[in-house]
């Protein structure tokens, strides 16, 4: 799919030949004098069209436009949220296998958030997963022209939004693939494929190398499966070697059965999404490859299956992590923190300016925040603020959760330095407290994306979150003084 941005007035946009023209009308819209604008104004005046977000009026082959279909779509106050809702509704109304070319015209000049929202809503609304279908219904939409009078001043925002789409779609692709089509080995190959882009290199470690590193916690999870583990190290080098990198760590459990502490059967298929953290790291690197910012970023992905065979780790087993800390594995279903802790220790070698881990870590986070906001944890005020702001800008929201030491009480045990689970109460926070023990050496944040990374039910599928947030955060670090994390 190819996006283009042009400085066109509404009437100019209406004279572009295309399969559909979406006219985005906000509350503040003031019509121009030409015939097409008059048509829109008349429809609004008569109440057939409305600027309220999500209201649409569809026309077919009006002589006033070269577009086959015209949809007048309300985008309310023109905010990102309402533009997203308006574009989604308009696109759904013309969802047609004939829709190859689309023009999205802002009736009044677009703001930066509005343009970003329109690009991402068009991508989301036309996305189609095909990899494991025998008769794939591939995305039909080929060209998308965004038309707004002030296009020149929006060029940079537009380019960033289009690059984020590429990253989000790579993340969706890998997250949506079933576990037998997205093994740790295949994830490693996907990461290696990213290294064909300039400035990116990739190294994939296997069981032998990981054993040599002493990642006893990660290995304990992997030992219950016949599928070999992979530890993926991605490097994006856009700045001088002397510039400290940001490290992203993505949970890459390609299937989480729970292990011996096995999960119930209902909806267990959704545990193929337990590598959405890893997918978001791959997606973010895809976007970096596109934008080539002057920063350094490391991506770490500990990837394995959480299954159960005769060698599987058992409740009560004690393992030694790479940090030297011993861990009593009371519940084999709390495996995410076990693979992440060794990756967090590995991250120390990069002397990072900050480390952000991204993980579908706890059902408790879904209970706390639902699917709207990712859980965000950090004891570093500047880092927390930077992530929160990035989420707002990208409309990929997160919400800061607490890290009081009292939440770690339940992790105490007589048989090791730490247990891998506490009680049910505050489960997302005790998981974060577990991870925090491995992050003394650098500013650290944790994103629990268990609720935000995919949708359940009829619209089951990955969302590509939080690629938008991560990209926005990383690009902001390019301009921030080194003290501000």
Interface ranges with ligand BES (CB under 6 A): 256, 274, 331, 333-336, 360-364, 366, 421, 427, 450
Closest to ligand BES by CB, 71 or 171: 171
Q: Among residues 256, 328, 357, 472, which is the contact residue for Zn ion, using CB under 5 A?
A: 256
Q: Which two tokens stand for residue 242?
A: 């002397």
Supply the minimum distance, in Å, between the C-beta of residue 98 and ligand BES.
38
What gap in Å lies between CA 192 and CA 179, rounded to an integer?
19
Find which of ligand BES, Zn ion, Mn ion, none residue 364 binds, CB within 5 to 8 Å per kind.
ligand BES
Is there a catalytic annotation at residue 189?
A: no
| Binding positions for Zn ion, 259-318, rule CB under 5 A | 274
363 binds, among Zn ion, ligand BES, Mn ion, none (CB under 5 to 8 A by kind): ligand BES
Instruction: Compute the least distance from the CB of residue 306 to Zn ion, in Å.
Output: 6
CB 216 to Zn ion: min, Å: 19
| Nearest partner of 407 among 342, 353, 362, judged by Cα | 362
User: How far is the C-alpha of 221 from the C-alpha of 328, rounded, in Å?
Assistant: 13
Query: Please, which residues have CB within 8 angstroms of residue 328's CB and are 6 or more apart in sequence?
Result: 316, 317, 318, 413, 415, 416, 418, 419, 420
DSSP state of 109: P
User: Is residue 126 within 8 Å of residue 139, measured between CB atoms?
Assistant: yes
309-338 residues near Mn ion, rule: CB under 5 A:
333, 335
Judge whether 291 and 178 are in contact, CB under 8 Å: no
Tell me whether residue 73 or residue 275 sits nearer to ligand BES (CB atom). 275
Query: Residue 56 binds which entry of ligand BES, Zn ion, Mn ion, none, with Cβ cut-offs from 5 to 8 Å by kind?
Result: none
341 to 146, 161, 326, 402: CA distances (angstroms): 44, 33, 11, 19
Find the shortest distance in angstroms from Cβ 259 to ligand BES: 9
Q: Mark whether 263 is an active-site residue.
A: yes
How many of the other CB atoms lie within 10 Å of CB of 60?
8
Q: Residue 159 or residue 270: which is nearer to Mn ion going by CB?
A: 270
* Single residue of 227, 256, 305, 357 touching Mn ion by CB under 5 A: 256
Cα 64 to Cα 16, 21, 79, 251, distances in angstroms: 11, 12, 28, 53
Q: Which of these is catalytic: 263, 441, 455, 460?
A: 263
The distance of closest approach from Cβ of residue 450 to Zn ion in the complex, given in angstroms and rounded to an integer, is: 8
Question: What's the token pair of residue 395?
Answer: 């409309």
Residue 301 C-alpha from the chain's centroid: 15
- Between residues 290 and 333, which has the closer beta carbon with respect to ligand BES? 333
Nearest residue relative to Mn ion (C-beta): 333
Question: Which residues are tagged catalytic?
Answer: 263, 337
Binding positions for Mn ion, rule: CB under 5 A: 256, 333, 335
């Amino acid at each position: 799919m190819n996006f283009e941005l042009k400085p066109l007035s509404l009437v100019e946009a209406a004279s572009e030949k295309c399969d559909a023209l979406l006219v985005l009308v906000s509350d503040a819209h003031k019509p121009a004098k030409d015939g097409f604008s008059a048509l829109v104004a008349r429809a609004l005046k008569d109440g057939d069209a409305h600027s309220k977000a999500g209201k649409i009026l569809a026309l077919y082959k009006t002589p006033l436009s070269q577009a086959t279909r015209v949809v007048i779509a309300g985008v309310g106050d023109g905010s990102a949220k309402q533009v997203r809702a308006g574009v989604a509704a308009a696109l759904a109304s013309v969802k047609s296998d004939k829709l190859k070319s689309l023009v999205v015209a802002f009736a009044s000049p677009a703001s930066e958030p509005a343009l970003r929202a329109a690009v991402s809503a068009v991508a989301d609304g036309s996305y189609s997963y095909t990899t494991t279908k025998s008769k794939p219904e591939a995305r039909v939409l080929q060209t998308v022209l965004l038309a707004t009078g002030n296009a020149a001043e929006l060029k940079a925002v537009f380019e960033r939004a289009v690059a984020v789409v590429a990253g989000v779609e790579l993340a969706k692709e890998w997250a949506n693939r079933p576990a037998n089509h997205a093994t740790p080995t295949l994830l490693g190959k996907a990461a290696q494929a990213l290294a064909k882009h300039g400035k990116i290199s990739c190294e994939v470690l296997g069981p032998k190398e990981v054993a040599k590193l002493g990642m006893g916690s990660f290995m304990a999870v992997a030992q219950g499966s016949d599928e070999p583990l992979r530890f993926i190290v991605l490097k994006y080098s856009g700045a001088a070697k002397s510039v400290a990198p940001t490290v992203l760590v993505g949970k890459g459990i390609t299937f989480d059965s729970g292990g011996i502490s096995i999960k119930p059967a209902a909806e267990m298929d959704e545990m193929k999404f337990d590598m959405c953290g890893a997918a978001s790291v791959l997606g973010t690197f895809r976007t970096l490859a596109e934008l080539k910012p002057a920063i350094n970023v490391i991506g770490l992905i500990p990837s394995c299956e959480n299954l159960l065979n005769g060698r599987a780790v058992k409740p009560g087993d004690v393992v030694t992590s790479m940090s030297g800390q011993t861990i009593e594995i009371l519940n084999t279903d709390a495996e995410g923190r076990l693979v992440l802790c060794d990756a967090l220790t590995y991250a120390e070698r990069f002397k990072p300016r900050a480390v952000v881990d991204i993980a579908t870590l706890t059902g408790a986070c879904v209970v706390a925040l639902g699917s709207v906001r990712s859980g965000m944890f950090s004891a570093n005020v500047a880092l927390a603020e930077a992530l929160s702001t990035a989420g707002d800008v990208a409309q990929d929201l997160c919400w800061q959760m607490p890290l009081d030491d009292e939440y770690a009480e339940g992790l105490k045990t007589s048989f090791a330095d730490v247990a891998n689970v506490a009680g049910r109460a505050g489960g997302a926070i005790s998981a974060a407290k577990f991870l925090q023990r491995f992050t003394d050496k650098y500013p650290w944040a944790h994103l629990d994306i268990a609720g935000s990374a995919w949708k359940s039910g009829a619209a089951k599928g990955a969302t590509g979150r939080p690629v938008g947030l991560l990209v926005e955060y990383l690009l902001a670090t390019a301009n921030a003084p080194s003290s501000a994390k």
